[in-house]
Every structure is written in structure tokens, then in C-alpha cells.
Chains A and B, each alone.
Chain A
């Protein structure tokens, strides 16, 4: 470790630890607001759900059926399914629901997700508007909880909900399931201090009046949900997070798909954040400006850095072993490890800090599972560390590259 780089390592570690400690302090401070107890709302406002679809023939009917099955008064719940110029049989799959009074189906020329959402918004008159992804299934009581949340938090206009990975099949999805559990913790903590970064496109609910007032969805560099949340909050409105309303999504199945998605997220995050760079340390925006935005940027790069650093160390270890093998052969390969004394255990300060940082990641996962009531075994955690530690640095770097050379990324 070089002289200068060791300062960088300590700086990054400090910032990373600061963010984690901040979250845990909020948790301790506000733990009373984190009950998973489920109260019913007193009134049920009219609510419209938009499902923008592009080539979703396989999933769309299942999603609509699950929405029709939600515990919410039928006369108050409308479902708007928009076929955004699909090239497969999405529209004919939607047509099955044509006669259902709760379901409105539309087909339009392809114009991007934001276009589909706005198309529906223009045709809605409900008090609340929810946007969900076509591959996302809501828990039966999810809408009740959001509505109750709106009832309690009068000033919230955009409420993001907890999104988990439903039943992960591939190891890529298993890895993501842990990641989403972590997200659910940090998102809730940000919600508690009025600093939500994004009300996710997979499942969020908005007050329609405000949505219209700020001008609906925009392209937002293919990350329309982040852009909208930025716009709502910089327009002086509040975003929050409802952890008791839970949706299950699929998440990309393959490495390639995951990489593509993360490239879109990373690129959109960097682009939108620089579009809204006035939010940085903006005191008028409270914790959102002081903590959320700078923290997200730092965390985005810090995670990459920490993984890079770990791999460098692991790489150095194996390089060392290879040299040893080439020099003295098998016999002595593990000689040093056999007579290992505690003397050769790394006791630099950075080792203790690394252990604490890893521990804080584990604690985040634990608390995320706790507040989202996840009971499945946490053994997928191994997949998380394998998949994300390898790939995160790659897509972060590629996103940064794309950011500077302004290559647009496809929505899908």
C-alpha cells in the first residue's frame, strides 16, 4: 500500500463508516416508528395503478390478476395497463381484461416508459396514482398500508414502497434478494429523516394533483423514477418511504441482464444527479440535500473502492502463493501458514476498520430483513458478496465512462 493511497483508503473507509453509523443512529432514534404492525386506514381514497408494458406478454396477465385480488375496495381501485408499442402479443394478453370495469387498457406507439406513464396519467382522475413494473406483484395488504401511510403523513406526496425479490431462482437473483433487503433498510432510514433518494418505479404511490403540477414523468436519462423524485423534492414537496407496503419483483435473471440494468441505473444516477447538482449540500432541502445526495454519490464510489481494495488484497495473496509455488514447490506452499502465529495476523488499523465495515453491511442486511419481515434463510448472502464484489466495480466504471462520453443506454 503506497503512502498516498493509504490516506485515500482511510478517507474512503471513514466516509463509508460515517454513512453506516448515521443510518444506525437514525435506526436507534426512530425505532418506534418501525413497527411492522399493520393498521387499517379509516378512509379509502380512489387509487389508480399504472402498469406500463413493453413486451410483457408472459407476465402482464398475472400482474393484473394479482392487482384485482388486492385487499382494496373495488370501486376505489382502477388499473391502467398501457401497451407501449410492444412487438409481441402483450396487447392481446391485456385484451382478456377488456370487459373488467376496474381495468382500462390502452395501446400506443412506443415512446418510452415515461411516455406510457404520462399517457395514463392524462386519463386518470383518482386521488392517488401508483406506478408499478409489469413483473411486480404487490402483497395483498400493500395498498392499505400506503393509504394509511398517506393518512398519517399529511405532507408526503411521493411514497416509495419496499421492493423485494420474490422467489429468486438464479444465483443472480439470489444475490439481488440480499441487496434489496439492504436497500429496504437504507431507504426507510432515509425516509425517516425526509431524505428519500428515489421512489422506485417498481412500486410507488403519488398524489395525482402534485404529479400533474410538477409535469408528470420525464425521460430522465432512462431513469424516470429518480428524476421524478428529484423534481418533486426540489419543488418543495416531500418524499417518504413506507416499509410495510411490500412488493415482490423478479429482478434480472442473468448476468448480462443485471449488468445492463445496473448500467442504466448508474448512468441515470450520475446524469440526473448532475442535472440536479444544486441539491448538493443545499440546506433548504434539509437532510435530502445535506445527507442523501452527497452520501449517495460517495457510497456509489466507495462501494466500488472497497470491493476493488478487497480484491487487490486477495489477488496479492494468491500472487504470493503462485510465486511461492514456482520458487519452492508444493512442499513449502503453506509452510508459513502452518506455523502461523498471531504475529502474522494483520493488525493495521485498516484491518479493524474493514472488519467493522463488513460487520455494518451484515447488520444492514439483518435490519433490512427485520423491518421488511423477511423470514427466509439469509444464506443467499454468499451470492451477494460473490456477485456484487466482482461486478459492482465493473458497472460503476462503465457507468462513469458512459457518463463522460454521453452514451445513452437502452431502457431494457
Chain B
């Protein structure tokens, strides 16, 4: 007497399944697009680093004065590195940290960064110039890293001369392991500035202190100085302590 028709239940099941499949297809499509755009940024970074490499090769024929102008770095690359790090982290959250495509891109760009770091160091030591580079060792599982990343974003946006290299300690590439043991990285987050390793979270003020003491930045370099009067005060009191 009470009828129910299995066909309807099945039809609804397949409809729902279809909607699910469509959602996953859309998701795949957009995530694919995102990976493509990561690839694009990677290409830009590669091109930029090629220019550093070229400068370095030119040193054999030219003098330091000819090559190194007073802006050692082009700001563009610094931004791209930060941007790339943010995006890679986002994709790791979205897909999974083990996603092959993400790991591949991350490995590639980490190797590029290490290479750039070495070139920049060489270039600077030959031409006797200070390089404002920060090596930032982070890790997906570390709690303070997201805060540390924010600090580095903030500092590098206010001091365009400071270039941050974003290095994922968890990456299994041999070059990464060598870098980590070279700078005696035991925990994340860790920062390496002027060859010295600073372990643990460093706030904006702490980091500015370190950079000032290492003579990598001057307070007047802060391009947003007028707006951040309060933070300047805070850090200056710190120094006086």
C-alpha cells in the first residue's frame, strides 16, 4: 500500500553524485590553474636569478663599480620570493603538503633561492658590499612560523633592501639539508643574518634590532616611517634598554 520507488532514490543518488563530481572537477580545474600560476612566478624568479648569475659572470671582465649599483637587489625579486612562499604555503593547505606538484615546485624554487643566495654572497664579498639577506628556515608543522612569516612580510615590505629567502626545513633535498647543517639549524623558525643563526620567534622589533645591529638597515630606510611612529618608539625604547 505504501509505495516507494527505488528508481527515484537511485536517480537522486546519481544526481547528488554528479553534483559532487562536478564540484571536484571544478576544484581540480582551478587548482590546476593555480599550479600553473605558481609555475609562472617560478619562471619569473628564474629569470631574475639568471640576471644575478649574469652579473656574477660579468665580474670577470668588469670592475665592481661598473656592475653593482647602489641598489644591490632589484626589489621585484624580493617581492616575488615572498609572494611565492605565501602561495606555496596556501597550496599546501589547500591540497596537501605531500602533493607532488607542490613539492616539486617548492623544491625547484628553494634550489633557485639557495643558488641566488650563494651568488649574492659571492658578489658582495668580491665587491666589499654588505648584503641585506635573511635566510628564513620554516616548517609546515611549526607553530610560530606563521607569525614569523607575517613579521618577515612586514619587515621586507618596509625595508625593500632586505631580501628574505624562504627555506622549508622539511624539504628533503640534499642542498636544503646541507644549508641547515651549515647554519646549525636545530629548530624552526630560525633566521640567519650575516652568518649568525637566531633560533626561535623574533618579533618585528627584535628583527629590526638585529638588522640594525648588523648594519643591514638604518631606521631611516623604513619607507613607511611616518605611519609607524609608534612602532619606532617601541623599538627605540628597546634599544635604550
Which residues of A pack against B, CB within 8 Å? 10, 14, 17-18, 21-22, 25, 193-194, 236, 283-291, 323-324, 327-329, 331-332, 335-336, 343-344, 346-353, 356
**Neighbouring B residues of A344 by C-beta, 8 Å:** 90
In chain B, positions 137-156 with a C-beta closer than 8 Å to chain A are: 146-147, 150-151, 153-154
| Count of A-B residue pairs with CB < 8 Å | 100
Per a CB cutoff under 8 Å, which of A323, A332, A347 touches B27?
A: A347
**Neighbouring A residues of B31 by C-beta, 8 Å:** 347
Main secondary structure of the interface of B (DSSP, over half): helix
**Neighbouring B residues of A350 by C-beta, 8 Å:** 23
CB distance from A346 to the nearest CB of B (A): 7
Does A347 lie within 8 Å of B26, measured CB to CB?
yes
CB distance from B140 to the nearest CB of A (A): 14
CB distance from B136 to the nearest CB of A (A): 15
Does B2 lie within 8 Å of A324, measured CB to CB?
no
B101 interfacial by beta-carbon distance below 8 Å = no
Does A288 lie within 8 Å of B151, measured CB to CB?
no
The 9 closest A-B pairs by CB, nearest first: A286-B2, A347-B30, A352-B23, A349-B27, A328-B154, A349-B23, A349-B24, A287-B4, A18-B16
- Knowing A17-B19, A18-B12, A288-B2 are in contact, say whether A329-B231 is a contact too (CB < 8 A): yes
User: Which of under 10, 10 to 19, 20 to 34, or 35 or more describes the interface residues of B?
Assistant: 35 or more
- Knowing A347-B30, A352-B23 are in contact, say whether A328-B204 is a contact too (CB < 8 A): yes
B227 interfacial by beta-carbon distance below 8 Å = yes
Q: Report the Cα distance A229→B203, complex, angstroms.
A: 64
Per a CB cutoff under 8 Å, which of A25, A323, A327 touches B8?
A: A25
B240 interfacial by beta-carbon distance below 8 Å = no
**Given A328-B154, A331-B224: 4 more A-B contacts, CB < 8 Å:** A22-B9, A236-B1, A290-B4, A332-B153
**Neighbouring A residues of B16 by C-beta, 8 Å:** 14, 17-18, 21
In chain B, positions 12-33 with a C-beta closer than 8 Å to chain A are: 12-13, 15-16, 19-20, 22-24, 26-27, 30-31
In chain B, positions 73-96 with a C-beta closer than 8 Å to chain A are: 86-87, 90, 94
B157 interfacial by beta-carbon distance below 8 Å = yes
Does A343 lie within 8 Å of B37, measured CB to CB?
yes
B34 interfacial by beta-carbon distance below 8 Å = yes
B184 interfacial by beta-carbon distance below 8 Å = no
B3 interfacial by beta-carbon distance below 8 Å = yes
Does B154 lie within 8 Å of A25, measured CB to CB?
no
**Neighbouring B residues of A286 by C-beta, 8 Å:** 1-4
CB distance from A228 to the nearest CB of B (A): 18
Does A335 lie within 8 Å of B157, measured CB to CB?
yes
B182 interfacial by beta-carbon distance below 8 Å = no
Nearest A residue to B22 by beta-carbon distance? A352
Nearest B residue to A326 by beta-carbon distance? B147
Per a CB cutoff under 8 Å, which of B2, B13, B26, B203 touches A327?
A: B203
- Knowing A347-B26, A348-B94, A349-B23 are in contact, say whether A327-B12 is a contact too (CB < 8 A): no
Nearest B residue to A17 by beta-carbon distance? B16
Q: Report the Cα distance A291→B6, complex, angstroms.
A: 11
CB distance from A322 to the nearest CB of B (A): 11
CB distance from B137 to the nearest CB of A (A): 18
Q: Report the Cα distance A10→B16, complex, angstroms.
A: 12
**Neighbouring A residues of B86 by C-beta, 8 Å:** 336
B108 interfacial by beta-carbon distance below 8 Å = no
Does A285 lie within 8 Å of B30, measured CB to CB?
no
In chain B, positions 147-174 with a C-beta closer than 8 Å to chain A are: 147, 150-151, 153-154, 157
Q: Report the Cα distance A354→B151, complex, angstroms.
A: 33
CB distance from B90 to the nearest CB of A (A): 6
Q: Report the Cα distance A344→B151, complex, angstroms.
A: 20
- Knowing A14-B20, A327-B150 are in contact, say whether A21-B2 is a contact too (CB < 8 A): no
